[in-house]
Chains A and B, each alone.
Chain A
Amino acid sequence: MEALLIKNFLRSKGLMAGLLILFAVGLISLNIGKHFLDKNREIIEKTARYQRESIARNVEFHPKEIGLLLYYVRFGLVNEMPNLSGLSIGQRDINPSLQSVTIRNLEEQKYATDLMNPMYQMLGNMDFSFVLIYFFPLIIIAFCFNLVSEEKEEGTWSLVLSQSENPLKMLRIKISIRFVCVFLVLLALLIIAKIYLEIPFDAAFLAFILTAILYVIFWFALGWLVASFHKNSSQNALVLLLSWVMLTIVVPAGINAITVNLYPVPEAFGTVLESRDGYHNKWDEPKEPTVAKFHKHYPQFGQFKHPEGKDYSWLWYYAMQQMGDDEAINQSRNFKEKLKKRNAFGSTVGMLFPSIHTQLSLNALSLSDMDNYLRYTEKLESFHEKKRLYFYPKIFTEAAVSGENWETFGLEFYKETPNINWAKIVLPVLIISILCISWAKLNFKTNMMRR
């Protein structure tokens, strides 16, 4: 019987064409991912060169005052992009993966965006995760919507019931054949991705594969459940397509709308104003309080004083810059908290919906999610702080520019290994799939003999 079922399945041209199209679209998506990775690599290489050139030029232009030199010099920190993010680009095309900052106040610098065509961002990437989340279910729907009903509509169901002892077994084989075909396409794409995008075979990739497989399993489970109701083909198709529209379009968009309304972020604008005033207003105020505040923040620099009667000193200047950050710190912290809340809300509610959960998990594993960006921003803050602490004493003691080996200041890298919470990744979709299958089992028991 298996052989016959396989033959029957392989013979339907439409379904085979569907698989082929899916495979082709998958290949295109891999190419898009590759292109994205290459472009990122190119940006990093170019920036490394620009940084070297720009430091050399500034050292040449401002050889006398290290305080003035550091007004100009930029230091870059790269948020390293694993090759896996070629498969799930996530927020990486919105948030920059590289920031170059001077040691002046960070608040004015850290929200700078990259240049991107917003039309491009709106229409979105067609990366592998998109193909997985949108296109794989469609093929699965096409494979499953008439699993039982085609037999009924073609009049073969009575034959099956009368000739086979276990009609459920036949259905199981039927769906297994379909599952194996889709699974093979998925596997082929992932293997090609591994080679083409040079993805290391590590825990993150393994979890990525597992997530993708689970998502496919979920859709088969749903197809199985719908088949178990023994409705006709067009009803099944309607239910499955409706589920697809709900899961991939309506529900995520709805949750997003709720998130935006629940957690508006006016702090974003507040930080800009606070940090601007925190710094600029100090120009018009007496210098002593500014310097005193600076000393309070950094007691270790207490020995450096603003020379009395002088109109200007680098100590005072950088103290003013420091105030730009210090006075915006509450707004800035609230802002970050809000973003974290938004994230937490999205990912918690998302667990109930396999499409959302899969997308967010894939992004997290590829380090292309919001959390990664927030951690990178924190890293950028400490990177910036380190640079400050290194240069502040040199500026205050007016150390010679030539005393520093400027060539050592290349790009620095923030490398993260994803923290894999296997239970959180696997369980939600697994439980939902098991529920579908169990429900289907009950249905099959009661419905099986219906003609």
Chain B
Amino acid sequence: MRIDILKLVSKQVWSSKIKNSGTIWLIMIFNLLLLFALFSGYKNLVNQQETVEHYSHEVRERWEARPDKHPHRMAHYGYVAFRNRFPLSFFDFGMDSYLGNAVFLEAHKQNTVNFSEASLSNGLLRFGEISAGMIIQLLLPLLIFFWGFDLVAREREHGTLRILLTQGVSWQELILGKSLGLFYLALTIFIPSVFLGIILLVFNESTSQNPQGYLRFILLIFGYLAYFFIISTLAIWISAKSKSSKSALTVLISLWLFFTLIFPKVSQVVGQNIFPSPSKIEFDTTIEQELIKQGDSHNPNDPHFKALKDSLLNAYGVDSTHKLPFNYSGYVMREGEKLSAETYQKHQARLVETYQKQQNVVRFTAFLNPYMAVKNLSMALAGTDYAAYNDFQNKAEDFRYKLAQTMNELQMKYISNKVKNSADKKAVISKKNWAEFPDFHHQFLGLSEVLKNELYSIISLIIWTLWMFFLVKYSIKNLKAF
């Protein structure tokens, strides 16, 4: 394979296309679309970040402004955690719009994360969203197929292919060279958006707190470059394989439909059916029934908590809970919270595992479908995938648990066993304690974690790239020059 020939062939593709005013128009339209997508995505991100910041601040202020009171009341007053977006999320919305944004954290109870964008939307969202990621993953391949379908087939139809081959250009050089030509054309659309992406990334204040955003963006660029190479080579290879340019176009468009519409939807339905997941009502009921079996911390005669009480009295050598050196009901609630949180987490982990199994069915199709590979990788790097969300959910639950237990411990420490109930004047502790409890801050997943989650996507992009080289090198035997 000779580099100069490759250059020559790719340059010929480039100049023949760029001469055409239609091509220039398409490039311009795509760039405008990307411009719109990047700016509206960015505006949306900044809006969201400001809203989250505003309300998080407000939550904190209100929390610290609460007067002296009984700590358990504070545990019920609770906290509200808002999901923040990763600075790169403007580039690829991923499943962001389907993920909840606000969760109320209180003692004894795990609430759902509510107010996803989808729940605030009419049916329009289901057509998909216009993000740079979507344009590049979904629409650009269609354009590449359009540009590439006749690049070999038409030369054959016009008889120029034979001339090229007799002049000493090998099939490999021809296919790879033409693929590179297409690849360069794709870059006219990709590169401007990369520059704009970097500018917007630098502009966003939150990037400085998450410098891994830059690294993620660089990896994202590599992922997309591999994707364009795969798509370009595929287009040229099909064009070379097909009898006519018309049939090449049909095959390529069918492939596009399969990759982007049919495969993802069907695999998703298959995943759902192989690994059924519970509805909310089932989930809650299972947990509730398990908790009932364990015992009710609010019920003084409950056998589990009665045994606990007896062993405590024994250990401290006293005959009544009033004589214990700490607040007994705080202790009981601490135990209750521990049990119920453990039970919840066990079921939540099982649920997440089911979701991941369902998603893995879709993920595996990446080996058959480069679109899925790049989509998953891009989403993960942009911080808009399920793993990022699940991490938020876990951190919020950890925070909730810590809040409830801190309040229980404050109760054990400061509240006398003799107070009647939480309204008692002696049953309050200073509001300083509220300020001492740290605010909720969610750190985004580390890069290594993200890459680990997307191992399948990365491997399948690599395999696809190698596979394309393999096709170029070995499957040219039965290609026809005329």
Contact = CB atoms under 8 A, between A and B. Distances in A.
Interface in B104-121: 104, 111-121
Given A115-B280, A117-B277, A283 B123 contact: no
Nearest to B22: A238
A126 B265 contact: yes
B98 A121 contact: yes
Interface in B413-466: 420-421, 423-424
A223 to B, nearest CB: 16
B73 A120 contact: no
A283 B122 contact: no
Most chain A beta-carbon neighbours within 10 Å: one of B40, B102, B138, B280: B280
Interface residues of A, number: 88
A114 B280 contact: yes
Nearest to B268: A123
Contact of A359 (B101, B127, B262): B127
Nearest to B260: A249
Contacts of A111: 114-115, 119
Contacts of A260: 40, 44, 117, 121
A142 B198 CA distance: 41
Given A117-B358, A360-B122, A311 B127 contact: no
29 contacts: A46-B279, A50-B281, A50-B285, A61-B299, A91-B118, A111-B115, A112-B112, A113-B112, A113-B280, A115-B112, A115-B280, A115-B283, A118-B116, A119-B386, A122-B98, A123-B264, A252-B127, A253-B128, A254-B36, A259-B124, A266-B55, A269-B80, A273-B62, A276-B78, A280-B73, A342-B121, A360-B123, A370-B121, A370-B122
A61 to B, nearest CB: 8
A312 interface: yes
B69 A118 contact: no
Given A111-B119, A265-B115, 5 more contacts: A122-B94, A252-B124, A257-B40, A264-B51, A280-B78
Contact of B269 (A126, A283, A360): A126
Contacts, number: 233
B359 interface: yes
B225 interface: no
Contacts of A28: 266
Interface in A350-367: 350, 355-356, 359-360, 363
B337 to A, nearest CB: 18
A270 B138 CA distance: 36
A245 B142 contact: yes
A102 interface: no
B138 A119 contact: no
A113 B80 CA distance: 16
7 shortest interchain CB distances as A-B pairs: A252-B127, A253-B130, A311-B423, A370-B122, A122-B95, A118-B98, A126-B265
A260 B43 CA distance: 10
Contacts of A442: none
B123 A90 contact: yes
Contact of B115 (A46, A91, A100, A269): A269
B18 interface: no
A115 B277 contact: yes
Interface of A: 14, 25, 28, 32, 35, 39, 43, 46-47, 50, 54, 57, 61, 90-91, 94-96, 98, 100, 108, 111-115, 117-126, 130, 134, 138, 233-234, 237-238, 241, 245, 248-250, 252-261, 264-266, 268-270, 272-273, 276-277, 280-281, 283-284, 311-312, 339, 342-343, 346-347, 350, 355-356, 359-360, 363, 369-371
A249 B124 contact: no
Interface stretch (B249-257, B313-321, B473-481): B249-257
Interface residues of B, number: 95
A118 B129 contact: no
B67 interface: yes
Contacts of B102: 268-269, 272
A261 B43 contact: yes
B134 A253 contact: yes
Given A121-B98, A248-B127, A256-B124, A95 B119 contact: yes
Contacts of A346: 122-124
A270 B102 CA distance: 11
Contact of A343 (B80, B122, B266, B362): B122
B95 A284 contact: no
A124 B261 CA distance: 10
A59 to B, nearest CB: 15
Contacts of A100: 281
Contact of B44 (A39, A130, A253, A261): A261
Contact of A342 (B40, B120, B249): B120
The residue in A248, A252, A265, A311 that gathers the most chain B C-beta atoms within 10 A of its C-beta is: A252
A32 to B, nearest CB: 6
B97 to A, nearest CB: 8
Contacts of B121: 91, 256, 259-260, 342, 370
Nearest to B123: A363
Majority SS at the chain A contact face = helix
Nearest to A110: B114
B355 interface: yes
Contacts of B138: 249
A123 B118 CA distance: 13
B128 A252 contact: yes
Contacts of A272: 80, 102, 104, 114
Interface in B39-55: 40-41, 43-44, 47, 51, 54-55
A373 B122 CA distance: 10
B51 A43 contact: no
A273 B55 contact: yes
Contact of B423 (A54, A248, A258, A312): A312
Interface in B272-294: 272-273, 277-283, 285, 288, 292
A336 B288 CA distance: 32
Contacts of A253: 127-130, 134
Contact of A256 (B112, B130, B271): B130
A112 B124 CA distance: 22
A241 B281 contact: no
A415 B288 CA distance: 30
Contacts of A254: 36, 130
A216 to B, nearest CB: 19
Contact of A249 (B128, B358, B423): B128
A350 B54 CA distance: 34
Interface in B352-409: 355, 358-359, 362, 386, 389
Nearest to B130: A253
B295 interface: no
A121 B95 contact: yes
Contacts of A360: 122-124
B21 to A, nearest CB: 14
